Structure 1
Amino acid sequence: MMMMKQKLLLLLRYRRKNRVLFLSLLYLSVLSPLLFFSHRLNLLSPLGKDFLEDLYRVAYKTDSLKLNAVEQEGAEELEEPNHVVYKVKDSVSTINYNSNQNNDSEESRIAGHRYELLERNVTGFDHDEIRKQGTKQKESSSMAGDKDIHVHSLRMPDDNIKVTNKDSGRKEGKHNQIVNSESHEVRNPKIEEIKDQILRAKTYLNLAPPSGNLRLKELELLMRELEQAVGEATKDSDLSASVLQSMRHMEASLSKAYRIFPNCCAMADKLQAMKHTTEQQVRSQRIQATFLAQLAGRTTPKGLHCLSMRLTAEYFAMRPEQRKLPNENKIYNPELYHYAVFTDNVLACAVVVNSTVSTAKEPEKLVFHVVTNSHNLPGISMWFLLNPPDKATVHIQSIDNYGWFSKYNTLEKPNSTDPIYTSELNHLRFYLPDIFPTLNKIMLFDHDVVVQQDLSELWTADMNGNVIGAVGTCKEGEAPFHRMDMFINISDPLLGERFDVNACTWAFGMNLFDLQQWRMHNLTSLYHKYLQMNIGIQPLGWLTFYNKTTLLDRRWHVQGLGHNSGVDRNEIEHAAVIHYDGIRKPWLDIAMGRYKNYWTKFLKFDQPFMERCNLQP
């Protein structure tokens, strides 16, 4: 009995050992593949994944090359596919797609955006697939290290794009793919990709209907989140894991948004409506800006008005005998250089006088005849009493002193409300022989000019019997800056027979007049005849002095500083006289800053009157 029990116990122990051994082998057979497979997964992340993706890409390219081989079997000559060697050393090569019509070289410099170039030039590829391929290519390039990767050029299905062999020099199709072997470093590709996603999201949101959509709301939230992340990050390493996760969500949302807008015609109509509305707003803004600029050009600045009032008050506080300017004996000496300035602006007149005197070789021979209205006569007189020009003579008169001027009724029928054309001072230039009966020559300045060189050479110039010397407004081989038929009705028989509409016009601002020839031809009477036609100041001058003008070298007078921001700096520097013609005068707030210094350097802003009126350069 005891023997039976012992045998039974031994049998039970044996079976238990077998059961443990069997279960152990079973666990080992189940767990070992799991451990081995998880180990393989670790090897694949991240380099292993890249390896599999490379295998997929190679298989894809092999299929494409096989298709290319089938297409090229019927060609007369066989060409070996182009080989490109990429050397990746912390950088990736770039591919430029050059077209006869479009040049995308700037965009192709960013390797992270290569999929955009493919999307623009190649049809038939899915948007998301191209983006994935571009991302995989960037990741595989970072793994390559110092190895050389040989990449075969692909022939795209679209016939509009064909590979051009750089060595052969032949062009196939409309577009050429030029591969640069030069390395280009891609900095912060993740940040660039986020910016691209934000841009695409804004486009979709602008096209969204007012009612909105849950997917678009999600897109808007992701866009704001990424905008904040990009604003705080300066490099890819600053991006947190949550931002990278948001990038993936954004890409998915963009794909959903793409499917929301299948009706391209409706979107095109909406874009056209948006374009039309924007164009209307632009036109409205331009009209308003033009009006405000014209208004500012006709308005006296507060500081300039203050200066005129203070100078006027100071002038009347002086005794009459203290109001006389020096060198009155030189005023009508015909042997001197006489300059006339018709102005109602204190500072403008001061700059004309100061700049002319400072650049003159013989300032003692200069005589300035300033003619103004009765309101500004005290202020301008007081300015030159306080700031007399060095050795030069200044003679200031009021237009009211010329009683004979009113009998001509010059402005009886003005055709414009613009003070440039209705101002008595502007029309006074046509009466120079009457204003200065004892002079033979005089140079007339507009008050918006600056003299940069000595002008004595002009006084000895041969005018060939003409009345006026001026700089032409046209260059050789170009149309006139001002055509006469733009201002004058040439269809009038009286004008059409006498004038050539294609004749080169000339510029006001700096004009030398031979008063003897003027009197001989009685041009003032001719001016009165044309005045009845109610045309502007410039056409009146061109008609009155037609065929009696000597054209001066262009270096004597450069225009455009009051309306043209593209005047050549070299021309300005070498010009004898620069002219701020236009509404943007240098003493106004709307003046062009790039030209203002040429004018302000002839004023002293540290003077008491200037400081009290807060006048600054």
Structure 2
Amino acid sequence: MQKYRTDTLKLNAIQQDTGEGLKGPTHVVYKDENINSVVSDDAKVDSGVSLLDRNGTNQDSRSHSFEEKGKVTETVIAKSNGRSQPRRVTDEKVREMKDQVIRAKAYLNFAPASSNSHLVKELRLRIKEIERAVGEATKDSDLSRSALQKMISMESVLAKAGRIYPDCCSMAIKLRAMTYNAEEQVRTQKNQASYLVQLAARTTSKGLHCLSMRLTADYFALQPEKRVLPNQQRIHDTKLYHFAVFSDNVLACSAVANSTISASLDPEKVVIHVVTDALNLPAITMWFLLNPPMQSTIEVKSIDDFEWLSSKYGSALRSQNSQDPRYTSQLNYLRFYLPEVFPALDKIVLLDHDVVVQRDLKALWSVGMKGKVIGVVQTCRESEPSFHRMDMLLNFSDPFITKRFSIKACTWAFGMNVFDLREWRLQNLTALYHQYLEADKKKPLFTGGSLPLGLATFYNRMVVLDRRWHVLGLGYESGVGRGEIERAAVIHYDGTMKPWLEIGIVKYKSYWNKHVKYDHPYLQQCNIHQ
């Protein structure tokens, strides 16, 4: 049983205010011993200050103050005659030597390309000497005793070069050109690094491909009657706790299922519905046949099994205009058809495949939805890495958007959401989603992905959950602290650096790794390691 299993979260919900005058809930500061307290207070007016205004007040506290140019603010205490005396540490010599190198390289650029004069040779020699002397030094005390003599030699050569090339205007032009070239190189390197990260995020790793192939081969080697997962009689039981995961990644599905079940206080009441595509259905099914969920129930279905989806909504699913396959995947937009995917259920929790569940989630079924459809964690605090504004995701330059939505409204995140499917059906929100989708075809109203359409479809239909239910930011360098992670019910690796990829952030991977069976023979044979 997990470390946090006994910390049952109790939850009150706060309703989303409507329209222009959106106010934020009163936020409660919880101490560690207070984890079993109420998760969220009722919405209250916070001295007439809007959420966006209030959340912007912490920006100054994150700014860094710097000493005047050329000074390092470190102070060293030197002991003399038994008394402590402060000695200021500087980096003046280090910076001066680096400046000498820059000036020397600028003079070299004045010389003809084929020049091999005595001055050119001496400049190159002094540059090498200074660069070796500086090395990794950050303060003057790091420099060797001979560094000062090398500085003097370099200054002598620079003075000689200054007499040969006295034109200061030409020197300034050359330095500006060097600066521009350096900036261009940095920009190119950043773009290349960003492209490679995006490429790595979209590519199936060799190990994961190997695992899927092994599992698929084993699945088709079974007799049809052996391909059925246990406890399938429970998949429509409304008295149980139902979770949905839409994914084509066998390892990710395994981690979500394992973490959800291990965190549950009543694992026999947990039902996990995995929806994938036809290509990955055999592999994911075979994984759970080899690794049955003990007392819990797992159902695996293919999106191709939903014949009504292609006949009624096929054109809508194919109309996504993003170049990113993560956003064009039909599985990503299947969330807008939940009532039809699960017609027998009234309530369900939808988990993205890049989350880890750390606490029992059954309290979500006790949330008073009060006519709302979706339970969300908001992302409108500017001080947090998951921060978004409405105008980042919706085109408020278009009257269609400005008439329907407030630019000051609080944003929220997909990843861990509870849905009242009965209320969804009553409000016919799938039809509303299609209206927005059709409007977006005529003119650009929403940025790529499912979140902007979700913000529009469920606008003013949300119940706001305490932030500890869903902590985001583990899929990029967000600075999320260990304490915040360990207090969370669900942690989310949103972003491109997923934990199953080599580019995943090491300090966050351990929370995911403990739910993956790395000792399984198939993972070892496919070289999938921590």
Partner in structure 1 of residue 387 of structure 2: 481
- Do residues 264 (structure 1) and 230 (structure 2) align? no
Aligned pair partner of 2:111 in 210, 213, 219: 210
Among the aligned pairs, what percent are the same residue? 54
Secondary structure of the equivalent of 1:558?
Answer: coil
Q: Are 1:279 and 2:183 an aligned pair?
A: yes
Query: Does 2:493 match 1:589?
Result: no
SS in structure 2 at match of 1:367? strand
Q: Distance between the aligned counterparts of 1:468 and 1:266, measured in 2?
A: 65
Structure 2 vs 1, CA of residues 317 and 502 (structure 1 numbering), >3 Å: closer, same or farther?
same
Q: 1:612 aligns with which of 499, 503, 525?
A: 525
- Does the residue aligned with 1:571 lie in a helix, a strand or coil? helix
Partner in structure 1 of residue 227 of structure 2: 323
Which residue does the alignment assign to 1:563? Answer: 476
CA contact (8 A) 1:201 1:220 kept: no
Counterpart residue number, 1:356: 260
> What is the aligned partner in structure 2 of residue 102 from structure 1?
68
Q: Which residue of 2 aligns with 1:599?
A: 512
The alignment partner of 2:454 has SS state of helix
**Shift in Å, 1:507:** 0.6
Distance 1:432 1:245 in 2: 75
Rounded Cα–Cα distance in structure 1 between residues aligned with 2:251 and 2:376: 25
- Work out the CA distance in 2 between the residues paired with 1:439 and 1:310: 34
The reply on whether 1:387 has 2:291 as its aligned counterpart is yes
* Post-superposition offset of 1:201: 4.5
Seen in structure 2, the aligned counterparts of structure 1 residues 520 and 106 have a Cα distance that, compared at 3 Å, is: same
Task: Report the TM-score, using the length of structure 2 for normalisation.
Answer: 0.75
Give the number of the structure whose residues are more often helix, by fraction: 1
Contact 1:480 1:503 in 2 (8 A): no
Q: Is the 8 A contact 1:360 1:453 kept in 2?
A: yes
Deviation digits for residues 367-394 of structure 1, max 9, x if unmatched?
0001111110100001001111231110
Q: Give the partner amino acid of 1:352.
A: V
Matched to 1:542, the amino acid is L
Q: Does 1:458 align with 2:364?
A: yes
Question: What's the CA shift for 1:350?
Answer: 0.3
Aligned-residue Cα RMSD (Å) equals 3.5
Q: CA deviation at 1:496?
A: 3.0
1:415 aligns with 2:321: yes
Q: 1:312 to 1:497 in 2, by over 3 A?
A: same
Q: SS at the partner of 1:533?
A: helix
- Name the structure 1 match of 2:348: 442
| CA separation of 1:348 and 1:261: change in aligned 2, threshold 3 A | same
Separation of aligned partners in 2, 1:341 and 1:238: 61
The answer to whether the 8 Å contact 2:219/2:286 transfers is: yes
Alpha-carbon separation, structure 2, partners of 1:239 and 1:366: 70
Query: In the TM superposition, what is the alpha-carbon distance from 1:215 to its structure 2 partner?
Result: 3.6
For 2:149 and 2:372, how far apart are their aligned partners in 1?
83
Cα distance in 1 for partners of 2:143, 2:299 equals: 75
User: Shift in Å at residue 230 of structure 1?
Assistant: 8.4
Does 1:424 find its partner at 2:323?
Answer: no
TM-score, normalised to structure 1, is 0.65
* Residue aligning to 1:504: 410
Written as runs of structure 1 = structure 2, the 5 A alignment for 1:216-365 is 216-222=120-126, 224=128, 249=153, 252-257=156-161, 259-260=163-164, 262-365=166-269
Deviation at 1:615, TM superposition (A): 0.5
- Indicate how the Cα distance of structure 1 residues 283 and 435 shifts in structure 2: closer, same or farther if over 3 A, else same: same
Once residues 186 and 276 of structure 1 are traced to their aligned partners in structure 2, the CA distance between those partners, rounded to angstroms, is: 32
Q: Tell me by how many angstroms 1:103 deviates.
A: 5.8
The 1:248–1:591 alpha-carbon spacing in structure 2 relative to 1, beyond 3 Å, is: closer
Cα distance in structure 2, aligned partners of 1:420 and 1:456: 30
Alpha-carbon shift at residue 108 of structure 1 (Å): 9.4
The one-letter amino acid paired with 1:530 is Y
Q: CA deviation at 1:285?
A: 2.3
- Structure 2 unmatched runs, 5+: 1-64, 136-140, 441-445
What does residue 572 of structure 1 align with?
485
SS for the counterpart of 1:207 is helix
Consecutive unaligned residues in structure 1, runs of 5 or more: 1-98, 111-144, 147-180
Q: Tell me the residue number matched to 2:375.
A: 469
SS of the aligned residue for 2:72 comes to helix
Residues 277 and 304 in structure 2, CA contact (< 8 A), matched pair in contact too = yes
Aligned twin of 1:372:
276
CA–CA separation in structure 2 for the residues paired with 1:453 and 1:596? 18
In the alignment, the residues of structure 1 paired with residue 481 and residue 133 of structure 2 have an alpha-carbon distance, to the nearest angstrom, of: 45
**Residues of 1 paired with 2:453 and 2:197: CA distance?**
26
1:390-429 deviation per Cα after TM superposition (whole angstroms, max 9, x unaligned): 3111011111111100122222433223223321112211
Could you tell me how far apart the structure 1 residues matched to 2:271 and 2:402 are? Answer: 41
Using the TM superposition, give the Cα deviation of residue 483 of structure 1 relative to its aligned residue in structure 2, in angstroms: 3.1
Q: Residues of 2 paired with 1:186 and 1:511: CA distance?
A: 54
Give the distance between the partners of 1:464 and 1:379, measured in 2 at CA: 41
- Tell me if the contact between 2:100 and 2:155 (Cα under 8 Å) persists in the aligned partners: no
Aligned letter for 1:202? Answer: V
Aligned-partner Cα distance in 2 for 1:518–1:226: 71
Check conservation: 1:310, 1:609, Cα contact below 8 A.
yes
How far has the Cα of 1:608 moved from its partner?
Answer: 0.8
Measured after TM superposition, the shift of residue 567 of structure 1 is 2.1
Which residue in the other structure is 2:28 paired with? none
Instruction: Tell me the amino acid that sits aligned with residue 247 of structure 2.
Output: T
Q: CA deviation at 1:104?
A: 4.7
Alpha-carbon distance between aligned partners in 1 of 2:156 and 2:336, rounded to the nearest angstrom: 77
On the 8 A contact 2:356/2:490 being kept in 1, the answer is yes
1:513 corresponds, among 401, 419, 422, to 419
Equivalents in 2 of 1:480, 1:590: separation in Å?
20
AA paired with 2:425?
R
* Gap change, CA 1:109 and 1:271, over 3 Å in 2: farther
1:313 to 1:554, Cα distance in 2 relative to 1, 3 A: same
